[in-house]
Structure 1
Amino acid sequence: MANNNKPQAPKKPKFNPYWISGALLIALIAFQIFGTGDTNDNKKITPIEFYQILKDGDVKQFDVIKNTGFVKVYLTDAAEKLEKHKKSVSNNFSFSATKTPNYIFQYGSLENFEDKYTSIIDENNLNTVYDNDREENLLSDLLFSLLPFILLIAVWIFIMRRMSGGAGGGAGGQIFNIGKSKAKLFDENTKVKTTFKDVAGLEGAKEEVQEIVDFLKNPEKYTSLGGKIPKGALLVGPPGTGKTLLAKAVAGEAKVPFFSLSGSDFVEMFVGVGASRVRDLFKQAKEKSPAIIFIDEIDAIGRARGKNAMSGSNDERENTLNQLLTEMDGFGTNTNVIVLAATNRADILDKALMRAGRFDRQIHVDLPNLTERRAIFEVHLRPLKKVDGLEVDFLAKQTPGFSGADIANLCNEAALIAARNNKKAVDKQDFLDAVDRIIGGLEKRSNLFSVEEKKTIAYHEAGHATVSWFLEHADPLVKVTIVPRGRSLGAAWYLPQEAFITRTSKFLDEICVTMGGRAAEKIIFNEISTGALSDLENVTKKAKAMVMIYGLNEKVGNITYYDPAGESGFVKPYSENTAELIDNEIKNIVETQYQRALELLESKRDVLDKLAERLIEREVIFKDDLEEILGKRPFDTTSEKPSELLKKENNSKKEEEE
C-alpha cells in the first residue's frame, strides 16, 4: 500500500511590512550607538595634554562626570579652527540636540585633578567654565537619542495606514494590499433586513430577480431540465426608481454571500489596481459560491471603449473593463456566481458587456404607474402619524411622474410641513403643499412686486389657464398661483394623464397652452415681457422632439435623428438643406400655436379679465374658481374624485356579477 502520509514542506512565513520597520529601527539604534559614540580614539587625550590646552586658553568648558571618572572638554570656536584641533571636531551625523565634546579623558584622583585645574585657571586668569559635580544617566541619554527615530517610524506607519484606508492585517489594510477588492460582504453573519416586502410597485422586476434567488437556493430545480444559471442581470431605469433597493432585497432574500460595491470602487490613482480588484472580487466570490456580486453604477467602468481615442486617460478604466469582461465570461456556469449591476445610462455601456453570456438579462425598472405609486405610498406612510381617512388613491393621482425616491421625499416633506405648523397628524393639505414644494420650490412671499408687475404675472397665468380650459387634449388644471416659487414668478398646475403614447394633437395643444401666457400679455398690454423664458424653452423642446425624434412632421417625414449614444459626435447626421428645413418647421409649429392661442384668448377676453382679477385678489385659485368663472370644462373627465371613481367601478363590477 502506498504511503500517502508524505511529509509536508514547512510553510514559509508570510511577508509582513512590519519587518521593514523592525530592521530599520535596529539599524538606526546601531548607528546611534556605534557611529556617534564619545569614545572615538581621535578625541581621547591625557590629563597632561588637557592641562596644556587649558593653559593655551583653548578650553571653553569642561565637565567632570563623577560616576564615570571621565572629563568632557569643549573647545572655543576659535580653537576648533586651529590645525592642531581639527581632528577633535565631530562630523558624524546625529539627531542629538546637545553638542558632542571635543576631547575626553580620565582624570584619576579627583582631589589632585581639582587642585591642578584650579591653579591653572587662577594663574592664567582664564574665563573657562567648568562643572565638577555632574553625573549622567546613561539609560535616559540612550532613550533621548532614540526618540527621534521612534517618532520617525511611527509617522511612517501612520502614513501607510492612511494611504491604505484601513487598519493593518486584513485585506486592504496596508498599502501592499491596495489591489484587494473593496466589496462589502453580506453573509449569514451580517443580517440584511430589507426583503421583497419592502419593495413596492416593482412587480415585474421582482419576478425576474426572485427567479435568480430561487436558482441559487434550488439549482437542481432548473439544472435537472437542462437549464443554466444566468451569469448576469442588469437593472436599468431612471434615478430613484429602486434599483439599489431591489438589490438590497435580493441580499436579504437570497441567504447566500452577497458582495456589494460601486463601480467607482475599482478606480484608484495607481495603474493596474482596477483590474487587480476585479480579479480579487471574483476570486472571493468563487470561494464562497453560491454567491451574488452587485455592482452599483456600473457605467463608471463599463463605458463603451474607444470613444475618446485622443486622450490617454481612459487606459486604466478600459483595463478594468477588459478584466471584468474576462472574468464574467471566464468562470463556469457551475460555480453559481451571479453578477447584478445597476445603471441609469445603459445607452453608453460597452456592447461586449451587454451581450448574452455576460449580462444575460436586462431588467427595466421604470417610473411607477398609478397602481404602483399607491403601493409605494402605503410603504412610506407606515411610519407617519396621519389623519384618519387619508386617501392614498388621491395622493397617487396627484403625483404622476414621481419615482419611488420622490414619493419617499414627498412623505418626509409633508411630515416636516405638518410639524412646522404645529399639527398633531399629517393631513391632505400637507401633502399638497409638499407636492408644490418639491415641484415648484419654496414660496418666496418676501418678493415685492409692483402693481404693474403683479398684473402682468396674473394675466400671464390666466392666459395659460384659459387656453388649457378650452382645449380638448390639454391636461386638466388643478390650480393657478402668482406666488413666486423657486425661479418661477407664477405657475399653473396641471394633472397629467397616465399615457404611454402621445399623439400629434396632444403635442400641439400642449404647445398652444404654453404659449397662452405670452399671448395674453400681447392682447392686454400690446407688448411681451421676459417672463416667458421657461415657456419658450418648453415649446422649443417639444417642437424639436416632434420634428427630429418622433417623425411627427409631414415635410421632414418619417425619419428620426435621435442619437442616444452620441455616436455621431460633432458631425450632423443630415445635410444643410435638411437643417434649414428642420429650423423652419420648428419655428412654424410654435408660431402657428401662438396665433391659435391669440385667437382663442381674443374670443374669451371677458373671462380672461375676470380670472386675472381673481388672481390679483387671492393670489391662488383652484379648480372650483375656474368652474365658477369659465363654466364647466367641455372635455373634463376627472371631475370626480379618484375614490368616487373607484366606488363606481366596484359597484359596476358587483352589478355585472349579479
Structure 2
Amino acid sequence: MSSNSKHSGTNNIGKDTDKSPIPPKGGNKISWIYWGVLLFILLFPFFNKNISGSKEIGWAEFEESLLSQNAIEKIVVVNKEIAQIYLKKNLQDNPELKEDTEGLLSSSSGPHYYITIGSVESFENKLQRAQDDAGLFEKIDVRYENRTDWGIILSWVLPLVFFIFIWMFLIQRMGGGKGGNPLFNFGKSTAKLSEKGGTKSKVTFNDIAGLKEAKAEVMEVVDFLKNPEDYTRLGAKIPKGVMLVGPPGTGKTLMAKAVAGEAQVPFFSMSGSEFVEMFVGVGASRVRDLFKQAKTKAPSIIFIDEIDAVGRSRGKINAFQANDERESTLNQLLTELDGFGDNTGVIVLAATNRPDVLDKALLRPGRFDRHIYLELPNQSERTEIFKVHIRPLKLAKNVDIDVLAKLSPGFSGADIANICNEAALMAARKKKNEVEQEDFMAARDRVIVGMERKSKIISPKEKEIVAYHEAGHAVASWHLKHVDSLVKVSIIPRGKSLGAAWYLPEERQIVTKSQFIDQMCASLGGRAAEEIVFNEISSGALDDLEKVTKQAYTMVSYYGLDEEIGPISFYDSTGDNERLLGKPYSEEMAKQIDHEVHDLVISAYERTKNLLVQHRDELENLAQLLLKKEVVDKNDLEKLLGKRSHQVLEGDNKKPSETNLLVDYFNIEKNKVK
C-alpha cells in the first residue's frame, strides 16, 4: 500500500531531538594507555640490555686486563650463569677501566663487568689456574646468588600483554558502544526496539490508504494492548500471532510500521534472514533471546519481516542434510510461539509474499491465529493511495486524481509511489514549477515500458516490420469482442522493446474461455501480420509466443477449459508438487495436454490470420500511419478502424474531461513487447 509521504519544510537544525548523542568523556584516555604500552614495549629491548653500566667481557680480556692487574675485589656468580665482576675502589678511577665502566645508570659500587660462564665447576677451575699463573697470593672472593631475572620474565610477559591490549583495543573498536562486542554477541537478537519515549516509527494508520478491512484487524490487536480489560471481561484472549500475506508492494511492512507508531508498547522488529548465520545454532539462540527480551517488556509486539527466510516447510528435501540451520531455527520459533513455555503478553506479527512455502505447523491457530490478506487495491483505494503520495508534490490544477486511479488497474501501492516520484522527477527535468497531468502519464510510460530511445538506430526494413507487427496487434484487438480497449500504439523504442500497444484492462475477478481465446488471438496478431504482408516471419514475436504458450497450458492443465481433457486441474496451491522430480500426471496425459495446447494455439493463430485478411486495408493504412507519426492514439484509430462495436470502456459513464484524458494520455499496461 502507500508509504508515508508527509512533507515537512521546517528546519530541524538546533532541536534537541536531532542532536547526536554526546560521547562519554575520557574515552581518549584508554587510547593513550594503548600507545603508552606500545611505546614501552618498543623501548624495552634497550632497557633489557645491561643499562646499569656493567660490560660483558671474554675470558682472555678478564685474564689480561683485570686479573693480571689484581683489580678484582670480588666475583658474584648469579644463577650459575653469569659471573659479575666488582673492581677495587682504588682502581675504579683508572682511565682505561673507567671508560669501559661508564654507561647509562652506571654505579660506582658495581658490578663493573660480567662474564657468561658455562658451568660453575669449569669456571672455578679456570679461575684457580689463572690466579696461580698470575702469582696472586690474595685469592678473589667468589660468591653465589640466586636471583629472579626480571628481564627474562618481561621478555616473555610483555609480548603477551601487548597482544592482549591490541585484542582489547580491536574488540572495543568493533563493539561500537553499548551493544558490546558483536564477536561475543552473535547469538544475541539483533531486533530493533521501538518504544514509547524512545525511537519510534513516525508512520501511523492515517498514512495507510485503502486496506480498510486489513487495517481494522490490525488496529484491533493494538487496541487490545491499549485496553485489554474491554476484551478480557468477556473471556476473550488476545491472538498470539498475526500473519500479513500479500503480493509485493501492497503494504505489509508499512502496516507493521504503523503498528509500531500507534502501539503504546515496546515493538521489536527484525528480518527473517537475520536469524540465519554461518554458525550452527545461532538462529535458534537469537530466537530465544528475542522472545526473552520481549517477555521482559511484556506486553510487547514482535515483527518478523520476510518470515519465509526461516519458516520454509520442513519436507523430504531436507532429509539429505545432516544439520539444517534453518530447520533448527524454525523449530525454536515454533516452540517459542506455542510450546511448554508461557508466552503471555507477546504478540508476533509476520509478513510474507510467499505463504505457499511456509510450514503448516507455523500457520496453525495457536501460533498465527489470524491470516490477513492484503490484495492489490481497487479503484477507490488507489484514489486514496494517490492522495497520500502526492502530498509532498506541487501539483498543477489539471491533475485529476480520480482519473489517475482509473488508469492504474493492477497497480500496487509501491507502483503508485514510484509513478508519483517519476512524475515529479520528469517535471523537474523540464524545469517546470508544477507537476502536471502529462507528467504522470509520461511517468507511467517510463515505469511500465521504459524510457523512450529515439536515438536508437534501426534500419528502415526493421522499422517497417515493427510497424506492421504493431498494426496487426491493433487491428486484431480492435475487432475482437473480449479484448481490452486499445488506447495507443507506438513504434518508438522503449527499454528493450521496439514497439508497444497499450490497453485499458478491466478489473476482472474471473476470466471466461472466450476471453482467454480472444486475448490469445490479439497477442498473435503481430506475427500473423508479418506472415500476411511479408510472407515471412521474424523473431520479434518471442514475447507474444511465450505469453500465448503459457496461457494455453494454463487453460488446459489448470483451469480445466479444454473439452478433451475435461474438468481436471493439476494446479498445486500447496506447493508440495514442486518437490517432486516428475510431473503429477502420466506420460500419456502429458502427450494429450501437449496435443490440446498445440491445437488451441494453432486454431487461435489461424483465426487471427483470417481476421487480418478480412481487414487487410485497415492493416495497411494503420502501418503506414505508424511509419509517418510513430505514435497513434485513440482518435486516429477510430478514424481508420471506425468505432468499436464491442466497447469495453465504460464510456457512457465517464465525464467528458476524463474521456479526453483517456484518449490523450492513457498508458497503463504493456501488452506487447518485442
For this structure pair, what is the TM-score category when the shorter chain's length is used for normalisation? 0.7 to 0.9
Q: Point out where structure 1 has 5 or more consecutive residues left out of the alignment.
A: 1-21, 57-86, 89-101, 119-129, 137-141, 649-658
The amino acid of 1:618's aligned partner reads: K
| Preserved contact between residue 318 and residue 324 of structure 2 (Cα < 8 Å) | no
Q: Distance in 2 between matches of 1:201 and 1:114?
A: 103
Q: Say which of 176, 184, 187 aligns to 1:179.
A: 187
Match of 2:61 among 30, 48, 51: 51
Aligned partners of 1:410 and 1:106: how far apart in 2? 95
**TM score, norm. by length of structure 2:** 0.76
Q: Distance in 1 between matches of 2:54 and 2:97?
A: 19
Give secondary structure in 1 for the equivalent of 2:216: helix
Matched, 1:432 2:413: no
Please say if residues 229 and 333 of structure 1, whose CA atoms lie closer than 8 Å, have aligned partners that are also in contact. Answer: no
- Paired amino acid for 1:347: D
Residue 307 of structure 1: how far off its partner (Å): 3.8
Counterpart amino acid of 1:571?
A: G
Q: Distance in 2 between matches of 1:223 and 1:371?
A: 36
Q: 1:464 to 1:131 in 2, by over 3 A?
A: farther
| Match for residue 216 of structure 1 among 219, 222, 225 | 225
Offset, 1:44: 8.6
Q: By how many angstroms is 1:216 displaced?
A: 1.0
Shift, 1:317, TM fit: 1.1
SS of the aligned residue for 2:576 comes to coil
Check the 8 A contact 1:185/1:259 in 2, yes or no: yes
C-alpha distance in 2, partners of 1:485/1:103? 94
TM-superposed deviation, 1:178: 2.4
**Alpha-carbon distance, 1:288 to partner:** 1.1
**1:390-401 equivalences in 2 (<5 Å):** 390-401=399-410
Shift of 1:308: 2.0
**2 CA distance for matches of 1:469 and 1:434?**
26
Which residue of the partner structure matches residue 321 of structure 1? 330
In the TM superposition, residue 176 of structure 1 has moved relative to its aligned partner by 3.0
Q: Is 1:444–2:425 an aligned residue pair?
A: no
Structure 1 pair 239/131, CA: closer, same or farther in 2 (3 Å)?
A: farther
Deviations 1:69-94 (A, max 9, x none): xxxxxxxxxxxxxxxxxx98xxxxxx
Q: Which residue of 2 aligns with 1:525?
A: 534
Amino acid of the structure 1 residue aligned with 2:508: A
1:280 corresponds in structure 2 to 289
1:350: Cα distance to partner?
0.5
Q: Is residue 2:96 matched to residue 1:115? A: yes
Rounded to whole Å, the distance in 2 between the matches of 1:641 and 1:441 is 32
Q: More displaced, 611-620 or 187-196?
A: 187-196
The answer to whether the 8 A contact 1:45-1:105 is kept is no
Tell me the CA shift for residue 116 of structure 1.
4.7
Separation (CA, whole Å) in 2 of partners of 1:539 and 1:484: 23
8 Å contact from structure 2 (residues 337, 343) kept in 1 = no
Does 430-439 or 150-159 show the bigger shift? 150-159
- Any conservation in 2 of the 1:462–1:608 contact (CA below 8 Å)? yes
Report the alpha carbon displacement of residue 38 of structure 1 after superposing the two structures with TM.
Answer: 5.4
Match of 2:582 in 1: 571
Q: CA deviation at 1:151?
A: 5.2
Tell whether the 8 Å contact from 2:383 to 2:402 is kept in structure 1 after alignment. yes
Gap change, CA 1:375 and 1:428, over 3 Å in 2: same
Deviation digits for residues 197-245 of structure 1 (CA, Å, limit 9, x no counterpart) = 1000111110110111111111111111121111101000111110000
Q: In 2, distance between residues paired with 1:50 and 1:368? A: 103
Are residue 636 (structure 1) and residue 644 (structure 2) matched? no
Relative to structure 1, the CA distance from residue 589 to residue 158 in structure 2 (aligned partners, 3 Å threshold; closer, same or farther) is farther
CA deviations over 1:587-614 (Å, ceiling 9, x no partner): 1111111111101110111111111011
Instruction: Say if 2:436 is the partner of 1:455.
Output: no
Alignment partners' CA distance in 2, 1:333 and 1:273: 22
- AA in 1 matched with 2:549: T
In 1, Cα distance between the equivalents of 2:194 and 2:630? Answer: 55
Change (3 A) 1:175 1:628: same
C-alpha distance in 1 between matches for 2:464 and 2:655? 38
| Counterpart contact for 2:54–2:101, Cα < 8 Å | no
For residues 390 and 496 of structure 2, the distance between their equivalents in structure 1, rounded to whole angstroms, comes to: 30
1:302–1:353 Cα contact (<8 Å) kept: yes
Indicate the SS of the match to 1:277: helix
Instruction: Please state how far the C-alpha of 1:54 moved relative to its aligned partner.
Output: 8.2
Distance apart, 1:647 and its partner CA: 10
> What do you get for the CA RMSD once the two structures are aligned?
3.6
Q: What SS class does the counterpart of residue 335 from structure 1 fall into?
A: coil
CA distance in 1, matches of 2:215, 2:624: 52
Which residue number corresponds to residue 5 of structure 1?
none
Name the structure 1 match of 2:626.
615
In the alignment, residue 637 of structure 2 is paired with which amino acid?
A: L
- Match of residue 76 from structure 1: none
Identity percentage of aligned residues: 55
- What SS class does the counterpart of residue 655 from structure 2 fall into? helix
Q: Secondary structure of the equivalent of 1:589?
A: helix
1:10-31 Cα distance to aligned partner (Å, 9 max, x none): xxxxxxxxxxxx9xx99xx99x
User: Does 2:450 align with 1:469?
Assistant: no
- The CA distance in 2 between the partners of 1:449 and 1:131, in whole Å, is 96
- Check conservation: 1:236, 1:365, Cα contact below 8 A: yes
- Within 1, Cα distance between the matches of 2:232 and 2:351? 27
The answer to whether the Cα contact below 8 Å between 2:398 and 2:436 also exists between their aligned partners in 1 is no
The question of whether the paired residues in 2 share the 8 Å contact of 1:47 and 1:105 is answered with no
Greater RCO (CA < 8 Å, at least 6 residues apart): 2
Deviation at 1:566, TM superposition (A): 3.6
Q: Which amino acid aligns with 2:190?
A: K
Provide the C-alpha distance between the structure 2 equivalents of 1:145 and 1:643, rounded to a whole number of angstroms: 91
Return the offset for 1:371: 1.1
DSSP 3-state at the match of 1:461: helix
For 1:364 and 1:316, the matched residues in 2 are separated by: 29
Q: Which runs of 5+ in 2 are unaligned?
A: 1-32, 67-79, 107-152, 660-674
The partner residue of 1:601 within 612, 622, 641 is 612
The residue number in structure 2 matching 1:551 is 560
> Could you state the TM-score of these two structures normalised by the residue count of structure 1?
0.78
Q: Would the aligned equivalents of 1:235 and 1:365 in 2 still touch at CA under 8 Å?
A: yes
Instruction: State whether structure 2 residue 593 is matched by structure 1 residue 582.
Output: yes
Give secondary structure in 2 for the equivalent of 1:270.
Answer: coil
After superposition, what is the alpha-carbon deviation per residue over 1:342-396, rounded to whole angstroms, capped at 9, x for unaligned? 0011001001001111001100011111111111011001101110131111111
Q: Match for residue 361 of structure 2?
A: 352
Cα distance in 1 for residues equivalent to 2:607 and 2:615: 13
Trace 1:261-300 onto structure 2 (pairs within 5 A). 261-300=270-309
Are 1:328 and 1:358, in contact at CA under 8 Å, matched by a contact in 2?
Answer: yes
The residue correspondences of 1:4-403 to structure 2 (distance < 5 A) are: 49=59, 51-52=61-62, 112-116=93-97, 152-160=163-171, 166-167=175-176, 169-170=178-179, 173-188=181-196, 189-312=198-321, 315-330=324-339, 335-403=344-412
Superposed displacement of residue 52, structure 1: 3.4
Matches within 5 A, 1:483-494: 483-494=492-503
Paired with 1:184 and 1:484, the residues of 2 have a C-alpha distance of 46
Q: Contact 1:551–1:558 (CA<8 Å) still a contact in 2?
A: yes
Contact 2:55 2:101 in 1 (8 A): no
After TM superposition, give the deviation of residue 640 of structure 1 in Å. Answer: 3.6
1:306–1:328 CA distance, 2 compared to 1 (3 A): same
Count of matched residue pairs: 561
SS at match of 1:528: coil
Letter in 2 for 1:585: E
The secondary structure found in structure 2 opposite 1:308 is: helix
C-alpha contact (below 8 Å) 1:166/1:173 kept by paired residues:
yes
- Report the AA paired with residue 626 of structure 2: L
Distance, in Å, in 2 between the alignment partners of 1:277 and 1:325 is 13
- Compute the displacement of 1:562 (Å): 1.2
The residue type equivalent to 1:186 in the other structure is S
> Which is further off, 458-467 or 190-199?
190-199
Within 2, Cα distance between the matches of 1:347 and 1:156?
Answer: 48
CA displacement 1:528-566 (0-9 Å, x = unmatched)? 000000000110111111011111111111111112444
